[in-house]
Chain A
Amino acid sequence: MTSAVRFTVSLFLATFFLLLRASAAGQDPKPKPENTISVHLGEPVPAQKFANPPKFWISDVIDRSGNPQPMLVLKERGGIFLDRQPTVIVREALEESLRAANLLAMDANSADLVLKIYLFQFGLAQGSQLDFFGKVEFTAMVKNLKSGESLEVKAAGTSIAKVAVRKKNIQKNVQDDVEESLRDAVRNFLRGQQLKDAVGALRKSTDAAPAPTPNP
C-alpha cells in the first residue's frame, strides 16, 4: 500500500515538473534590467593614416541580419539582451573612432565621402559548446557625393570567450565577447586595405573630373 502511494506521488511530481519545464521552455525571455547588457566600444579605435585625409559622414546604418529579435543576444538561461539596437551601437562606435581621428565631418554637406552601413551580423554566432563566439560583420558603401561613384568595403570582427556556469559570469563574458568583436570589426574597417583602396579610387575620380565651368 505504502509503495503504491509513493509511486503515485513520484509520478505526479515528475509529471508536474516536466509540465512546468515545458511551459517555461515555451516562453520567450523578456528584457529586464538584470539581464540587459550595455555594449560600448570603450576607447576609440585608431584609424589608418591617409595621405590626404577625407571627411566621412555616416548617412545610414541598416540592419540586414534578418534576425527578428536583434536585441536578444543569448536565449538560454533567461536570456541576455542589448540595451540598444545593434545599428545604434555600430553607428556610435564608428562615429567615436572617426571623430577621434578627426575624420568625421560636421554634416553630410561638408563630407567628402558618405558611408552607408549594412549590418549583417551582431552578437553571438554558432560556436562550439566550449565557448562563446562573438561576431560582428558589416559592409559599408562608400560614396563620393560629387562624382556619384560608390565602392563596397567589407569588415568583420570575431572574438572567443570562455563559457561560464553562473548567470552573472555568463553575462559578463558575453558582454566582453560582443565588445571585443565590435572593436575588432571597427578596427578591420578603419585599418583595412579595402578602405584605403576605396578612398584612393574615389578621391582620384573627383580629382580627375573636370571642374564645373562658371556660367557666363
Chain B
Amino acid sequence: MRIGIRMMMVMLLLACLGVAAKEKNATPQFKTAEAKHFTQAEGVELSPAFGDYFYAELREELKKAKLASEVIGEGEAVEDADAPQSIVVNGTITEYKKGSVVKSALIGFGAGLRSLKMDADVLRRSDNQHLDVVHVHVKIDPRWDEKTMAKFAAHQLVKEMKAALNTQAK
C-alpha cells in the first residue's frame, strides 16, 4: 500500500517536472508583440500616470508570458518579413469605479470594492486581423492604490490572452 502511494507520488512529481521542462523549452508563438497605451472611455476618471504604469506592467507581463520572442515598444518598426508573425495589443478601459472604504468595511462581502473593466484586442500586425478579444474585470480593496490594480489587470489580461491564443494554435 505504502509503496503504491510512494510510486504515485514519484510519478506525479515526474509528470510535473516534465510539464515544467516542456513550458521552459517551448518556443514563443510570435516573433514580436507590441503593447499600446490603452485609451479611456468617456467617464473613466483615472490619472494619466495610471496609463503609463499599466502600459509598463503589460509589457512586463508579456515578457514573462513568453508569448513572443521580443516585446517591442509602442511605435517601433518591424521587419516586413516578421509582420505576419507579430501581434499588437491595444484596448480601452471601459469602466472604473473608485469603490468605498466605508461600504467595504461595514458591509463586506464584495461591497464597495474598487473595480476596473477593460476590453483588449489582439491584432495580427500584417493585416490587422483580430486574433482575440479579451474582457477583463478586476476588483480590489478600495484602500489599495490604483497602480496595484493596474498590476493585477495586466497580469489577468496576459493570462487570458495566452490561454485563448494557445487554444487557437491547437
Chain A residues near B72 (CB-CB < 8 A): 191
Minimal Cβ-Cβ distance residue in A for B72 = A191
Task: Convert B16-52 into 0s and 1s, putting 1 for each residue whose CB lies closer than 8 angstroms to a CB of A.
Answer: 0000000000000000000000000000000001001
A135 adjacent to B52 (CB under 8 Å) = yes
A125-B49, A158-B56, A160-B57 known; A188 and B148 CB under 8 Å?
Answer: no
Cβ of A213 < 8 Å from any Cβ of B? no
Chain A residues near B76 (CB-CB < 8 A): 187-188, 191-193
B145 adjacent to A128 (CB under 8 Å) = yes
Partner of A128, one of B52, B53, B75: B53
A133 adjacent to B73 (CB under 8 Å) = no
B52 adjacent to A158 (CB under 8 Å) = yes
Bound form: Cα–Cα A187–B73 in Å: 8
Bound form: Cα–Cα A159–B59 in Å: 9
A130 adjacent to B77 (CB under 8 Å) = no
From residue B143, how far is it (CB to closest CB) to chain A in Å?
A: 12
A157 adjacent to B151 (CB under 8 Å) = no
A184-B73, A188-B74, A193-B75 known; A158 and B148 CB under 8 Å?
Answer: no
Chain B residues near A127 (CB-CB < 8 A): 53, 56, 147
Cβ of B96 < 8 Å from any Cβ of A? no
Chain A residues near B150 (CB-CB < 8 A): 128
Bound form: Cα–Cα A130–B145 in Å: 10
Bound form: Cα–Cα A42–B55 in Å: 25
Minimal Cβ-Cβ distance residue in A for B146 = A128
From residue B3, how far is it (CB to closest CB) to chain A in Å?
A: 44
Task: Convert B51-92 into 0s and 1s, putting 1 for each residue whose CB lies closer than 8 angstroms to a CB of A.
Answer: 011011101100000000000111111000000000000000
Bound form: Cα–Cα A178–B11 in Å: 45
Binding site for B on A (CB under 8 A): 48, 125-131, 133, 135, 156-160, 184, 187-188, 191-194, 196
Taking A159-B56, A191-B77 as known contacts, 6 extra A-B pairs with beta carbons closer than 8 A to each other, sorted by chain A number, are A127-B147, A128-B150, A130-B151, A135-B52, A191-B72, A192-B73
